[in-house]
């Protein structure tokens, strides 16, 4: 394979994976893919011809496997593709990693130089159904690291309800994905589960932990990049903790400043928006995962 020791971040959309990816990608030896993994094959919202180019690249994968391997909505185990197709996927990752990106992360290592793009470790963000690609990627990359970021299902449920989901539907969705994460964590030595709550409670300790899991030297990083995104306050309003003139504005912070970048009570604020009926509907489908993860 062209890529070595890639890092895969698994989790939910709106579950904090953007924060985790940016913290790790602040290291000079790590390179962002340039979007969530599924966007590399399906395109991003609002794209025109780029979207169709991405889908043309994806076509051989779908045709040969007879499965939408990189679809976030497919909640099932992925078929094991032939070796040549794995190398095709790896090559697509490799050349996507090397392409220039808008607003790239620029960090220097301890020698004052950033490693050549092709030498950096790739980091991929696998959200929702794409967490089921772990079985594929573990056969492609024996030296990969998998980090799963989980979050209290009640807080996540509020965000999905705002987007038109029912509590019952999200409960099934949450339970399916968390069950897969827990299964992989039990059977893989290089698979680590971390929580959004750890991140909010002590960002400095959290980043130390994920760097150790990722086999990265945190001593080579003096500033961490984050993107400005709104979060819910006590009154149920969504506001920025920093920045905000431009959504997803990028800013750099020292390790000691990280705690000031997050709204520590965001979970409680979102959970407060749920009715008892909505919580019960969610738990009918997701109780197993909520108990297994220690949220009940």
Q: Identify whether 247 is part of a domain.
A: no
Instruction: Please give the residue range of the domain that contains residue 57.
Output: 7-227+256-292
Reported as a single tens digit per residue, the pLDDT across 121-160 is 999 999 999 999 999 999 999 999 999 999 999 999 999 9
Reported as a single tens digit per residue, the pLDDT across 111-130 is 444 555 667 899 999 999 99
Distances (CA, A) of 241 to 22, 217, 232: 16, 28, 10
Q: Identify whether 243 is part of a domain.
A: no
Predicted TM-score (pTM) of the model is 0.92
Report whether 133 contacts 78 (CB < 8 A).
yes
Q: Identify whether 175 is part of a domain.
A: yes
Q: Identify whether 241 is part of a domain.
A: no
Q: Identify whether 2 is part of a domain.
A: no
Distances (CA, A) of 283 to 153, 157, 175, 271, 290: 9, 11, 9, 13, 8
Q: Identify whether 1 is part of a domain.
A: no
Which CATH number covers residue 43?
3.40.50.300
How many structural domains comprise the chain? 1
């Amino acid at each position: 394979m062209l890529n070595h020791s890639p890092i895969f971040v698994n989790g939910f959309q709106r579950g904090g994976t953007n924060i985790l990816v940016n913290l790790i990608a602040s290291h000079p030896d790590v390179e962002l893919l340039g979007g969530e993994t599924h966007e590399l094959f399906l395109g991003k919202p609002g794209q025109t011809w780029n979207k169709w180019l991405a889908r043309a690249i994806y076509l051989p994968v779908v045709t040969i496997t007879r499965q939408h391997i990189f679809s976030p909505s497919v909640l099932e185990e992925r078929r094991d593709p032939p070796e040549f197709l794995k190398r095709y996927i790896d090559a697509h990752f490799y050349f996507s990693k090397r392409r220039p990106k808008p607003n790239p992360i620029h960090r220097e290592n301890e020698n004052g130089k950033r490693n050549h793009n092709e030498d950096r470790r790739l980091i991929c963000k696998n959200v929702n159904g794409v967490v089921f690609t772990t079985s594929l990627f573990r056969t492609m990359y024996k030296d990969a690291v998998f980090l799963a970021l989980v979050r209290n299902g009640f807080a996540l449920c509020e965000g999905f309800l705002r987007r038109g989901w029912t509590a019952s539907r999200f409960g099934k969705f949450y339970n399916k994905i968390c069950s897969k994460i827990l299964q992989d964590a039990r059977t893989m030595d290089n698979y680590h589960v971390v929580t959004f709550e750890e991140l909010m409670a002590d960002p400095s300790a959290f980043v130390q932990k994920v760097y150790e899991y990722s086999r990265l030297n945190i001593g080579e990083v003096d500033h961490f990049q984050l993107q400005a995104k709104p979060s819910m306050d006590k009154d149920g309003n969504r506001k920025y903790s920093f920045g905000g003139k431009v959504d997803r504005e990028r800013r750099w912070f020292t390790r000691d400043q990280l705690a000031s970048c997050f709204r520590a009570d965001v979970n409680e604020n979102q959970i407060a928006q749920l009715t008892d009926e909505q919580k019960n509907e969610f738990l009918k489908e997701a109780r197993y995962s909520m108990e297994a993860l220690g949220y009940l």
